[in-house]
Amino acid sequence: MASPPTHVALRAAWLSCLLAGALAHGASQSDPAVAAVPPVGTEAPSAVRPPPTLTPGIGAAQATSRAADLIARGYTEQEWWLGGTAQVHDRAGSRSEDGRWAARPRAGSARPYQTRLLVRRPADPTRFNGIVLVEWLNSTLKFDLDGGWILLRDEILREGYAWVGVSVQAEALPGLLAQGPHRYDVLRLPGDAYAWDVYGDALQTVRQHAQRLLGIPAPPRLRLLGVGYSQSAVFLTTWLNAFEPVLRRLDGTLLHGAAPVAAPLNGDEGHAFAPRLRADLNRPVMQVQTEMEVSVSWPLSKTPDTASVRYWEVAGAAHLDADVQAETRAVAPRDWLDSEPVCLKPLNALPLRHADAAALHALRRWVVDGVPPPTVPRMGRGPLGFLAHDDDGNVLGGLRLPEIDAPLARFGTYGNVSRGWPSVRGLYTCIAGGSTVPLSAERLQRRYGDRASWLRAVQTSADRLLQSGLLRPADHALTLETARRTPWPASR
């Protein structure tokens, strides 16, 4: 049946939060004193800029650092400084609906920047699998958040990927300075209008200086995969449409949790709504969306699977679930932690990271072996267009992890609020965090009969996903072990 109309207001509120993170950039970021766009030509964006400089940071990173947890997993973390010159870019021609956009550097707009690269890699160089994930760090919360790392961490560590987080947006500077005022006062990020050159320089630097950054001999073939979580995926959508076809810096991209918009090139234009990824990318793109984004962003479900794009919708998943929030708290500034709200319901606990791990592995096979990922059905919708849910309140269709295919709970994507005084922080954290509401013992009895039947249902679902490439072997084993350790609720 269609989603209850009472959810519409909450969904509209969440969409406002989601879009606010994406739209609150660019309007005041460009330099108003720079000259007009030059005539359209054929040269690559930023082709005349001098190469950036790379300097190792002294001592340990003080922001977004996970060094303590990495040591036990056989990984190291090091921070580097990247300095160069960035320019503002303007559109060259129209921003067409097919995503074939062009960008040109604006004459006289060059400004210096200094940013950081946070590098995580296997301590043993022989474990490196030849693939570097280069993440556009998320700044929505006013500090650098490695959202892609959070969701992909388990797959990264067990498969030997390297990861590089790039501080791209000036909005993160207050958080950086709060966590390391003396260390990060050297950073200079002139604004979102210059972000394209900063990220592009980071990609070029990783490829050209991989031996220094990764502590490895020259790999037979190094592959770079772009990663963007939430707002960062919005920016990477524009990168893929306007910059990547010319600069060719990436071998593939993983986008997670984007709003249905693409970021503007600068403050002189607005966002592009419901953008399509251009069909001539010739660079594989995996796009993973949670139920939360899909339910308020209907155009997302119309994203076509093409020769270069795979689009997965994860049923029951929330944008900022319990696992993401726990890992966010581990790297957040103290003042952010001091204002943490308490939500009325437990946050969404569906293991979304299992879907992202499968997506990363599928992207790797696509890039390395030329094997396209499996396709996933869209979520079901009712006559009015709202997502359709079953009698337990769980959505129909989509990529269905065993936890929602054989559920013990209703995984809500709306309906959670803060217990305290209403605030923007509480609205964002609790609504974006979704909810987990256990099904009653009576309902489980009617659905499964007994615990053994439920365990068989979990096994069947997990096996099916494993065979279709939608669940990694380690996550398959963890799913079954978790189910075996889960107590069966007693009837009242």
Sorted by where each starts, the structural domains of the chain and their CATH numbers stand as: 7-29+43-331 (3.40.50)
**pLDDT at residue number 404:** 97
pLDDT bracket for residue 20 (50, 70, 90)? very low
Whether this model's pTM surpasses 0.85 = yes
Residue 46 pLDDT greater than 60, yes or no: no
**pLDDT at residue number 215:** 93
Joined tokens for residue 237: 């959508």
Cβ neighbors of 289 (< 8 A, separation 6 or more) are 256, 257, 258, 300, 311, 312, 313, 314
**pLDDT at residue number 478:** 98
More confident residue, 217 or 348: 348
Q: Mean per-residue pLDDT for 23-52?
A: 44
Q: Mean per-residue pLDDT for 77-106?
A: 93
Residue 2 pLDDT greater than 90, yes or no: no
In tens, the pLDDT along 155-174 reads 999 999 999 999 999 999 99
pLDDT bracket for residue 476 (50, 70, 90)? very high
Q: Mean per-residue pLDDT for 445-461?
A: 97
The helix-helix angle for 424-433 and 322-329 (nearest 10°) equals 130
In tens, the pLDDT along 195-248 reads 999 999 999 999 999 999 999 987 778 999 999 999 999 999 999 999 999 999
**pLDDT at residue number 237:** 97
The percent of residues in the chain predicted with pLDDT above 70, rounded, is 90
**Cβ pair 119, 80 in contact under 8 A:** yes
**pLDDT at residue number 45:** 47
Q: Mean per-residue pLDDT for 89-118?
A: 93
Q: What is the mean pLDDT of the chain?
A: 89
In angstroms, the CA 366 to CA 131 distance is: 13
pLDDT bracket for residue 95 (50, 70, 90)? confident
**Cβ pair 331, 176 in contact under 8 A:** no
**pLDDT at residue number 267:** 84
The percent of the chain in helix, strand and coil, each rounded to the nearest 5, is 40, 20, 45
